[in-house]
Chains A and B, each alone.
Chain A
Amino acid sequence: MNDIIIELKNVNKSYSDKPVVKNLSLAIRRGEFVTLLGPSGCGKTTTLRMIAGFEQPTSGKVYFNGEDITELPPHKRALNTVFQRYALFPHLNVFGNIAYGLKLKFVPNGEPTLDKKGNRIQKMRKLTKTEISDKVNNALKMVDLEDYGHRSVNSLSGGQQQRVAIARALVNEPQVLLLDEPLGALDLKMRKDMQIELMQMHQKLGITFVYVTHDQEEALTMSNKIVVMKDGVIQQIGTPTKIYDEPANAFVADFIGESNILSGTMVKDFCVDISGHKFECVDKGFKRNEPIDVIIRPEDIRIVDKKDKQCLVEADVLTCVFKGDHYQVTALTYGDERNEIIIHDNVKVDVGDVIGLYIKPFDFHIMHKSRIINTLEGKIYDENVVEFCGGRFDCVTSLAAGTHVKITVDFDDVELMDDEEDGTIGATIISSIYKGSYWQYIVRTDDYYDFFVDNDYEWTLNDRVGIKIAPEKIILEEIILDENGAAAENENKEEQND
């Protein structure tokens, strides 16, 4: 038997043409505790709802125990959900809520009977009152609410309602339990307790848990496997340690825990260059001088004396804050480009001090840049005017109007305007990552092209900005169309998701 219990294959979901989940494939093993993790709007809840059956994928298939359940309505699926705001029925008491599913259940009545043709058939029956009440009481005992059966659900505290919601789902003995940000409404202390209880339940019951959260700490604590999502696309799947120590890209690194994300180049195998400093690292297999992202966790940086022979790079201390079990230091490194980095160490330093920093070779996490230049397609509109993304940009070219062109623009050359009207086209900031000395933004135009932009100023997520590009910075290249009108040189437009 295959031990994969749930499988999603090439699942897409759009709401009125707006894609929410893009070509998602995921396999969940029996007994796993899988967490779908990502910022709000990343498609994690939609994915869970497609597993539960509340949403139908626009395309793609969902399998349960190898069976196609894409079209199956929720009430026929052998899984149960704990809802974000619990959704306990207010017209029923605690007992009634937990018994709701049991009262609808049919079980084999144990005595095989013969039908008219002599075939053995299993007659089904409903659960008896005592069976139901035994099961409900067991479930209440499991969530430590033994004497609460008669209570009205609205009289319970948030934590107790949470437990009832879990008991209501688990009493049906589902093969998979789906949890949609179940701890979101609880206070910090309660969350921590519930996290541990959920983990214990998972171990005891041995069933599969699929958990949705935007809280990276919760995901790291509880799961066997984390699925990091962004914009409806899976960024990385892995164990908590793997995701934390070896993030697949800058987004994952930035989302999971605090980290310093810097741009660098891979000089050769085992040697990385950041702002003119060369460091020893353990990564290889990159192209020579390939531009890469380097991730360094704050707790992996040691503060040493600047004269110490371990010292790799010197830095000015900007702030030093006591955090209980460590000091959080921000420092500005010396080099071709001065990078601001965060350090967690238990050494107290003073603002203005010059310190030395030491990082072990295997603490440099090196990854390919998701994109090194913006590439898109457009058309020459008029003399020295090119049209792309619904806007007409001035450019310098000798190509005739109507020519299909490939446009490349460097990250530095995309200018962002505070006022949308000042730009040639409008766009929304959908991602921002601080890279030590500048921010790298992903800016989405209204026709869903994502520009990568390096910029010194800070914008917040979902800000509207104008995009302007200097004419001489737009690099154009003619695309030769073949007979069918299709581009012979088919550039991959969606390269950010590798």
Chain B
Amino acid sequence: MTKPKLRFSRKAFAYPYMIFLLLFVVVPLVIVLINAFLGDEGKLTFDNFIEFFSDKGGGMTVLGNSLIIGLVTTLICLVIGYPVAYFLAKYHASNKVFVLLFILPMWVNFLIRTLSTKAIFIALDVKLGMGTVMFGMVYNYLPYMILPLHTTLVSIDHSYIEAAEDLGADRFTVFWKTIVPLSVSGIVSGITMTFIPAISTFAISEILSSSKIFLFGDAINMHFSKTTNSFGVGSVMSLVMLVLVIIANVLVSLTEKKEEVKSAL
């Protein structure tokens, strides 16, 4: 005789979050997907796609601009961030405070940060435009570049550096032939953590250029606003964004897998 028992498996603890995911991630995605194919009269149509890809409303141009700005931002972040991360890692033990200082801006809401930046620019009488937008982007995304780089650089075993010196490498060679190759995984994750949010950003460009420069995120935002009310095209743009993010992630996982394969062999 077995007693009927109410049994909980540990899986049950995951259910609340799965329900949350379903309601707030999967369902909205499905809605976006449906919207993308929905015409004005509620019929299935490809008009939204045609409108976007034919660049009638300037959607493609905005995407192109966003990609360029995203790339430039990422590049600047890498050029500034790598040396910072390198020196933070080198003097890691004694200077935890410095690491904190570089992460600190992340704790302030980015709208507040951006609005304050604008206020400073206006106070300094700097003309708002591309320059100020780039500044705002780099300022906002730099910590996302530094953090993964720092983590990777700190974990590089010092004996690799000593081995390189021992084999005749001067400081410059040690850096380019040992430290940089060993930090590739950090560079890759830094780039993704900067590039993906940078291309989909909104508000920064709007605020710091007084709405003169328009990025992809702003464009999506506009399409969903009450005045324009073109949910269809907005949804198509959201999907394009999603595809870009997926592509970026696949690229990253490819480089990572290559390393994993290397170390697993």
B162: chain A residues at CB < 8 Å are 52, 54, 74, 81, 83, 87
- Pairwise interchain contact B177-A90, C-beta atoms closer than 8 A: no
CB of A85 within 8 A of CB of B166, answer no
Asked if B262 and A75 sit within 8 Å, CB to CB, the answer is: no
Is B241 positioned at the interface, with any CB of A under 8 Å from its CB?
A: no
Question: A73 to chain B: which residues have CB within 8 Å?
Answer: 165, 170
Interface string of B247-265 (1 = CB under 8 A from A): 0000000000000001111
**Given contacts A101-B168, A104-B173, A154-B265, are A87 and B163 in contact (CB under 8 A)?**
yes
| A98-139 interface with B by 8 A CB criterion | 100-101, 104-105
Known contacts A152-B265, A154-B263; is-contact A91 B165 (Cβ 8 Å):
no
* Number of chain A residues close to chain B: CB under 8 A: 28
* Contact, CB under 8 Å: A89 / B166: no
Q: Pick the most buried of B164, B178, B182: most chain A CB atoms within 10 A of its CB.
A: B164
Q: Once the chains bind, are B173 and A91 in contact (CB under 8 Å)?
A: no
B166 near A91 with CB under 8 A, answer no
Which residue of B160, B167, B262, B263 is within 8 Å of A104 (Cβ)?
B167
- Contact check, A87 vs B160: say whether CB atoms are below 8 A apart: yes
Please give me the residue from chain B that is nearest to A154 by CB atom. Answer: B263
Residues of the B chain whose Cβ atoms lie less than 8 Å from the Cβ of A75: 165-170
**Interface flags, A59-84, vs B, CB<8A=1, else 0:** 00000000000000111000011011
Could you tell me the distance in whole angstroms from the C-beta of A18 to the nearest C-beta in chain B? 17
A91 & B182 in contact (Cβ 8 Å cutoff) = yes
Q: In chain A, what residue has the closest Cβ to B262?
A: A152
Name the contact of B167 in the complex, choosing from A85, A90, A100, A152 (C-beta under 8 A).
A100
Shortest Cβ gap from A94 to chain B (Å): 12
- Does A101 lie within 8 Å of B265, measured CB to CB? no
Closest A residue to B174 using CB positions? A75
Q: Is the CB of A91 within 8 A of B184?
A: yes
Q: Given the complex of chains A and B, what is the CA–CA distance between A81 and B160 in angstroms?
A: 12
Most central of B157, B165, B182, B263 by chain A CB within 10 Å: B165
Cβ < 8 Å to A, chain B residues 133-186? 157, 159-160, 162-170, 173, 177-178, 181-182, 184
Proximity string of chain B (197-225) to chain A, C-beta cutoff 8 Å, 1 when within and 0 when not = 00000000000000000000000000000
Report chain B residues within 8 Å CB of A91. Answer: 181-182, 184
Q: Which residues of chain B are near A74, meaning CB under 8 Å?
A: 162, 165-166
A102 smallest CB distance to B (angstroms): 9
Residues of A within 8 A of B163 (CB): 81, 83, 87-89
Q: How far is the CB of A208 from chain B (nearest CB, A)?
A: 16
In the complex, what residues of B have CB within 8 A of residue A83's CB?
A: 159, 162-163
Is the pair B167, A80 in contact by a Cβ cutoff of 8 Å?
A: yes
**Which B residues are CB-close (under 8 A) to A85?**
157, 159
Q: Which residue of B lies closest to A174 (CB)?
A: B166
Q: Does A155 interact with chain B (Cβ within 8 Å)?
A: yes
Q: Which of A89, A154, A172 contacts B178 (CB 8 A)?
A: A89
Give the number of residues in B that approach A within 8 Å (Cβ atoms): 22
CB distance from A464 to the nearest CB of B (A): 26
Any B CB within 8 A of the CB of A168: yes
Docked CA distance A85–B163 (Å)? 11
- Give the distance to chain B from A167, nearest Cβ to Cβ, in Å: 12
CA distance A88 to B169 in the complex (A): 15
The residue on B at minimum CB distance from A180 is B159
**Does the CB pair B262–A80 fall under 8 Å?**
no
CB distance from A51 to the nearest CB of B (A): 11
Q: Closest CB-CB distance, A417 to chain B, in whole Å?
A: 36
- Among B163, B169, B262, the one with the most A-chain Cβ atoms within 10 Å of its Cβ is B163
Q: Does B168 contact A90, Cβ atoms closer than 8 Å?
A: no
CB contacts (< 8 Å) of B265 on chain A: these are 151-152, 154-155
A80–B178 Cα distance when bound, in Å, is 17
Complex Cα spacing A75 to B168, Å: 4
Contact check, B160 vs A80: say whether CB atoms are below 8 A apart. no
Which chain A residues border B178 with CB–CB below 8 Å?
89
Q: Which residues of A contact B182 (CB under 8 A)?
A: 89-91
> Which residues of B have CB within 8 Å of A89?
160, 163-164, 178, 181-182
Chain A CB within 10 A, most for which of B159, B166, B263: B166
User: For residue A84, which residues in chain B have a CB less than 8 angstroms away from its CB?
Assistant: 159
Which A residues touch B168, using CB under 8 A?
75, 101, 104-105, 172
Contacts of B170 in A (CB 8 A): 73, 75
Interface residues of B in 71-102 (CB under 8 A from A): none
Residues of the B chain whose Cβ atoms lie less than 8 Å from the Cβ of A152? 262-263, 265
- Whole-angstrom CA separation of A54 from B263 in the bound complex: 28
- A90 and B264 CA atoms in complex are apart in Å by 12
Bound form: Cα–Cα A53–B264 in Å: 34
Min C-beta distance of B263 to chain A, whole Å: 5
- In the complex, what residues of B have CB within 8 A of residue A101's CB? 167-168
Chain A 160-177 interface 0/1 with B at a Cβ cutoff of 8 Å (1 = within): 000000001100100000
Q: How far is the CA of A92 from the CA of B262 in the complex (A)?
A: 10
Q: Which of chain B's residues has its CB closest to A88's CB?
A: B163
Shortest Cβ distance from residue A203 to the other chain B in the assembled complex, whole angstroms: 24
- Say whether B169 contacts A80, CB under 8 Å: no
**Could you say which residues of chain A place their CB within 8 Å of the CB of B173?**
104
Chain B nearest Cβ from A44, distance in angstroms: 17
Which of A84, A87, A105 is most buried by chain B, counting CB atoms within 10 A of its CB?
Answer: A87
Contact between A104 and B159, CB atoms less than 8 A apart: no
Closest-by-CB residue of A relative to B265 is A155
- Inter-subunit contact A87/B167 (CB<8 Å): no
Can you list 19 A-B pairs with a CB-CB distance of less than 8 A? A54-B162, A54-B165, A74-B165, A75-B169, A81-B163, A84-B159, A87-B160, A87-B163, A89-B160, A89-B164, A89-B182, A91-B181, A91-B182, A92-B181, A101-B167, A151-B265, A154-B265, A155-B265, A172-B168
Given contacts A75-B167, A80-B166, A83-B159, 14 further A-B contacts (CB under 8 A): A52-B162, A73-B165, A81-B162, A87-B159, A87-B162, A89-B160, A89-B164, A89-B182, A90-B262, A91-B184, A100-B167, A168-B167, A169-B167, A172-B167
In the complex, the 8 A-B pairs of residues with the closest C-beta atoms, listed nearest first? A101-B167, A87-B159, A155-B265, A87-B163, A91-B181, A74-B165, A104-B168, A154-B263
